[in-house]
């Protein structure tokens, strides 16, 4: 199985699902109980999950920038700052 094929399921995940799995991986790695090969595989998957989460956040930010309503109900196309 190639790296790309091993991470195809990540593309179908919601932000929340990916973040939850990433948190689980971090906890496992911090525990230090995994074998080296397992830890490397978990780290690679974690990196892919992190990238997916960043992409989802960027997409959400783009949507927010497109749909901003002013206090008077007017639509503004100014960029939103999400931190």
Residue 81 resides in a domain? no
Q: What does the block give as tokens for 68?
A: 């901003």
Residue 62 resides in a domain? yes
Please list, in sequence order, all residues whose beta carbon lies within 8 angstroms of the beta carbon of residue 11, skipping any fewer than 6 positions away. Answer: 52
Q: Token pair 């790309």 is at which residue?
A: 4
Which of the four pLDDT bands, split at 50, 70 and 90, describes residue 83?
Answer: low
pLDDT tens, position by position, 7-53: 789 999 999 999 999 999 999 999 988 899 999 999 999 999 999 99
Q: What is the pLDDT of residue 2?
A: 45
Max Cα–Cα distance, the chain, nearest Å: 58
Tell me the residue range of the domain where 60 lies: 3-76
Residue 23 resides in a domain? yes
Contact 36, 43 (CB under 8 A): no
Residue 37 resides in a domain? yes
Q: What is the pLDDT of residue 68?
A: 72
DSSP 83: -
pLDDT tens, position by position, 56-68: 999 999 888 887 7
Q: Token pair 């998957």 is at which residue?
A: 45
Residue 40 resides in a domain? yes
Based on the structure, what is the number of domains in the chain?
1
Residue 66 resides in a domain? yes
Q: What is the pLDDT of residue 33?
A: 83
């Amino acid at each position: 199985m190639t790296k790309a094929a091993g991470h195809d399921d990540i593309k179908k995940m919601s932000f929340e699902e990916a973040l939850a799995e990433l948190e689980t991986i971090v906890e496992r790695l911090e525990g230090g109980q995994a074998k080296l090969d397992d830890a490397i595989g978990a780290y690679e998957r974690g990196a892919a999950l992190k990238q997916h989460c960043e992409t989802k956040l960027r997409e959400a930010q783009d949507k927010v920038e497109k749909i901003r309503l002013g206090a008077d109900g007017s639509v503004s196309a100014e960029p939103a700052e999400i931190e």
